[in-house]
Structure 1
Amino acid sequence: MSTNDEPAVCIGKKGISSCTYDDLVHYFKYASSAYVPVCPRPNGKHLVTLFSNVVTDIQGFVARDDERKEVVVCLRGSLSLTDFLLDSQLVLIPFKCPGISAPSGCRVHSGFLLAWDSIVVQILAILVQQLGSHEGYSVVTVGHSLGGALSILAAACVKGNFPEVDVRNYSYGAPRVGNEAFAEWFNEEFPPGKAFRVVHGDDGAPTLIPTSLGYHHTGVEYWQLDPPNKDNVIICSADGEDATCSASVPSQGINHAHTIYLGIHVATPFCMGIRL
């Protein structure tokens, strides 16, 4: 399980517990390692399998942490022209995922849903096997940028297919994924403490898709300021759109802040057996 010992999420607070901050760093190491073609032991843990789709160029891995008793689904961020073309498909369409039915009105980014649909069957099959062999394990979905957006869809889909399993989500630099109805439903499924949406400073990616197009962020934003430490993280409004946090900074698109989180440069490999 997570080492997060914070008893409650204190909205508007600047500063988080050491354990919460350590968790944010811990799961970002998975997200960063997803950019590496070969990662034999992601974050030093057991690599269950890689997954990919050659058409959408969506890639990632499933890892297992037998100390925390969790299965980690990690999705890679944008790295190719195909990925950026998916990012640009901004039409909102109904959220559908095998095995679940979201409430009427829940709509999500068509490109993100297309990307998730291309690997969802693989991931659900892997989880059936892993959770069947490891009773009591939780599932954590993680990712940076496009991977962060997909990790949010993944969390919703996994929870719907495995309702008895504890599911958490850690996203970093993720753009808005769906409309307000989707955000409200997601926030009910993943209340504070179950979803951690991290934004670094003036990273423009999270606000690149504007609310004027009908989009609305999910969950509590953990706004990481500099220098990176537990005292420089602000816990923002639980409805996803806090005008005093990263939304207060006009989007500059993909900028330097998007490439470094919690003091770690994106694509830094945390793969035992690979020299950093």
Structure 2
Amino acid sequence: MVVDGRLLDVTSVPASTLAGYAPYTQFARAAYCDTNKVATWSCGGACDAVGGFEVSLTGGDGNGIQLYFVGYWPQENAVVVSHQGTDPTQFLSVLTDINILLDPLDSNLFPGVPSNVLVHSGFMNAQATTAVPILEEVRRLMSAHGTNKVVTTGHSLGGAISMLDAMYFKLNIPGANIISRTYGLPRVGNPEFASYFDGLGIDFVRINNEKDVIPIVPGRGLGFRHASGEIHILGPGRAVSCSGQDNEVDAECQISSVPDIFSGSILDHLGPYEGISTGTIFCN
């Protein structure tokens, strides 16, 4: 079906594809865990699930700056960057605030991006806080291991920062193969942002869980739109891939499943994402 010039369609996601997302989910989960344990990759179930990962940089305080880590994933010969999310109940109030601002990106960090590409000011500021040291470490690891593959991942607010990271790396590391996997991602920018991001050639997937309310905010009426790449988990072992930006046509995609914040569930924001739940309470 064509809506506003966009071809919208859904397809079932094979179980093997869903299973393949598990390591990325574990990286997003690990970002919530104690920094000292993440630094030694001994954070419990999340770290155990991706054995051999080598952390080289950690940061953040879990308050003003979301926790994050950077490291090398030998199994995939990839550099990985992951950011912590936040308390979903507080995050929802921020994302539904009518005073949400859309601002242009910093041209020093995002060279060449048109001025009509606008993003959520809070997400932009959060990403900018850690952008430079993370980029330096990513470049160092890429050189040290002879790889051009970079993975960004995160849940909730961490997903928003990771999406902007993916764009940042694509613009600042020519030739890099950027893979981005987000979970419970809120809308990050305006329609021009969504289209610009889609055109960058990033391997991007945003995974939504059942009735999670966070992916439908900030509202489209406030000028926001999701980029393409939605996978909507309908239940254990069942998910659909929804084409287009903010597929509002098919009943199995997020917007139709959760038409407003009163129809959603904040608990679904925590997962499980194919058996893996995210958040500080799931670190062990």
- CA 1:259–1:83 in structure 2 vs 1: closer, same or farther (change >3 Å)? closer
Q: Which amino acid aligns with 1:31?
A: A
Distance 1:25 1:243 in 2: 28
Segment drifting more, 137-146 vs 100-109: 100-109
Match of 1:263 in 2: 275
* Secondary structure of the corresponding residue to residue 75 of structure 2: coil
Selected match of 2:216 from 173, 195, 207:
207
Distance 2:115 2:246 in 1: 20
- CA 1:189–1:205 in structure 2 vs 1: closer, same or farther (change >3 Å)? same
Match of 1:47 in 2: 55
How far apart are residue 164 of structure 1 and its match?
1.0
In the TM superposition, what whole-angstrom CA distance separates every residue of 1:226-263 from its partner, at most 9, and x where no partner exists? 1x21xx11000232434321001122466110011222
Q: Which amino acid aligns with 1:247?
A: I
Structure 1: give runs of 5+ residues left out of the alignment. 1-9, 270-275
In the TM superposition, what whole-angstrom CA distance separates every residue of 1:188-207 from its partner, at most 9, and x where no partner exists? 1136xx10100001100011
Alpha carbons 1:86, 1:111 under 8 Å: kept: no
Distance 1:218 1:105 in 2: 16
Selected match of 1:160 from 171, 176, 183:
171
How far apart are residue 177 of structure 1 and its match?
0.1
Q: Is residue 241 from structure 1 mapped to residue 247 from structure 2 by the alignment?
A: yes
Q: Is residue 95 from structure 1 mapped to residue 105 from structure 2 by the alignment?
A: yes
* Secondary structure of the corresponding residue to residue 212 of structure 1: helix
- CA 1:264–1:215 in structure 2 vs 1: closer, same or farther (change >3 Å)? same
Q: Which has the higher helix share?
A: 2
How far apart are residue 83 of structure 1 and its match?
7.2
* Secondary structure of the corresponding residue to residue 126 of structure 1: helix
Q: Which amino acid aligns with 1:179?
A: N
Q: Is residue 73 from structure 1 mapped to residue 81 from structure 2 by the alignment?
A: yes
Segment drifting more, 173-182 vs 40-49: 40-49
Q: Which amino acid aligns with 1:51?
A: G
Alpha carbons 2:210, 2:268 under 8 Å: kept: yes
Percent of matched pairs sharing the same residue: 29
Compute the TM-score of the two structures, normalised by the length of structure 1: 0.84
Structure 2: give runs of 5+ residues left out of the alignment. 1-7, 42-46
How far apart are residue 85 of structure 1 and its match?
8.6
Alignment of structure 1 residues 55-204 onto 2, 5 Å: 56-79=64-87, 90-96=100-106, 98=109, 100-190=111-201, 194-204=203-213
Alpha carbons 2:246, 2:255 under 8 Å: kept: no
How far apart are residue 63 of structure 1 and its match?
2.0
Compute the TM-score of the two structures, normalised by the length of structure 2: 0.82
Q: Is residue 16 from structure 1 mapped to residue 25 from structure 2 by the alignment?
A: no
Q: Which amino acid aligns with 1:102?
A: V
* Secondary structure of the corresponding residue to residue 119 of structure 1: helix
Segment drifting more, 195-204 vs 91-100: 91-100
Alpha carbons 1:48, 1:64 under 8 Å: kept: yes
Match of 1:273 in 2: none
How far apart are residue 28 of structure 1 and its match?
0.5
